[in-house]
């Protein structure tokens, strides 16, 4: 059974999707053993507490640099004996001291079709605002491994939705969460826990 540590910063609907999947037996060979929040007020913490999942708060505000913050996160991940780390709406880019310690063991959900609308500065609603500004007709979400470059690690799964002419960033965000993120994130986590993701030449391939 793999220890899954989930990192959050906000509402935690992706965390909830993972908890629901685990409770209904859809995370095979994995258990959420800890939730770590960068934000003491994140509603995600409540979701974890409601499900008796241990929590830790490591406030981003208390650290002056990304490197110092990442060292604190790394320490917690080591203490928790994490086998898999899931960034579920985690709004801080981790330094390479974390990504190098856990190669192909950190999974992120990004709310767009990488390599579009991603990288530094593209997070949360900003992503959907940029999508609507550009006028693309398809968007979606990407589940990928995390490496030292923001949103540039190997892609595991992607799913799409149509962008409609009267969408607001909030409406598009909700469509992508409901139709893609909440389904594909638990699926990717379950595949990882069953060792069904192969890495070949830096790319991820799923064995279904």
| Site of interaction with ligand GAR (CB under 6 A) | 10-14, 44, 88-89, 109-111, 123-124, 127, 173, 177, 181
User: Residue with CB nearest ligand GAR?
Assistant: 89
Report how far residue 190's alpha carbon sits from residue 177's, in angstroms, rounded to the nearest whole number: 18
State the angle between helix axes of 182-193 and 13-23 in degrees (0 to 180), rounded to the nearest 10. Answer: 50
Task: Output 123 or 145, the one with its CB closest to ligand GAR.
Answer: 123
CA 186 to chain centre: 10
The CB-of-173 to ligand GAR minimum distance in angstroms stands at: 6
Task: Output 109 or 207, the one with its CB closest to ligand GAR.
Answer: 109
Smallest CA-to-CA distance from 187 within 34, 37, 9, 27 is with: 27
Task: Output 115 or 198, the one with its CB closest to ligand GAR.
Answer: 115
The CB-of-185 to ligand GAR minimum distance in angstroms stands at: 8
Report how far residue 7's alpha carbon sits from residue 19's, in angstroms, rounded to the nearest whole number: 13
The CB-of-97 to ligand GAR minimum distance in angstroms stands at: 20
Task: Output 30 or 89, the one with its CB closest to ligand GAR.
Answer: 89
- Spell out where the chain has E strands: 2-8, 30-37, 55-57, 84-87, 106-110, 138-145, 155-162, 197-200, 203-206
Task: Classify 37 as helix, strand or coil.
Answer: strand
Q: In the chain, which residue ranges form alpha helices assigned H by DSSP?
A: 13-23, 43-50, 66-79, 96-99, 125-134, 169-176, 182-193
Both tokens of 185, joined, read: 């994130």
Note if 144 is an active site residue.
no
The CB-of-43 to ligand GAR minimum distance in angstroms stands at: 8
116, burial (CB in 10 Å: exposed 0-12, middle 13-18, buried 19+): middle
Task: Output 13 or 194, the one with its CB closest to ligand GAR.
Answer: 13
Report the catalytic residues: 110
């Amino acid at each position: 059974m793999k220890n899954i540590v989930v990192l959050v910063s906000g509402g935690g609907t992706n965390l909830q999707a993972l908890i629901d999947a685990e409770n209904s037996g859809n995370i095979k060979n994995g258990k959420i053993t800890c939730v770590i929040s960068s934000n003491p007020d994140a509603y995600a913490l409540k979701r974890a507490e409601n499900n008796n999942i241990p929590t830790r708060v490591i406030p981003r505000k208390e650290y002056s640099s990304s490197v110092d913050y990442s060292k604190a996160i790394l320490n917690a991940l080591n203490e928790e004996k994490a086998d898999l780390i899931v960034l579920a709406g985690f709004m801080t880019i981790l330094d390479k001291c974390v990504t190098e310690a856990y190669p192909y063991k950190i999974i992120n959900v990004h709310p767009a079709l990488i390599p579009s609308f991603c990288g530094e500065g593209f997070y949360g609603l900003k992503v959907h605002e940029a999508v609507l500004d550009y006028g693309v007709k398809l968007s979606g979400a990407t589940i990928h491994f995390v490496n030292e470059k923001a949103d540039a690690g190997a892609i595991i799964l992607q799913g799409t939705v149509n962008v409609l002419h009267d969408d607001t960033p909030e409406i598009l965000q909700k469509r992508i969460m409901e139709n893609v993120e909440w389904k594909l994130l638990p699926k990717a986590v379950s595949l990882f826990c069953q060792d069904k993701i192969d890495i070949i030449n830096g790319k991820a391939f799923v064995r279904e």
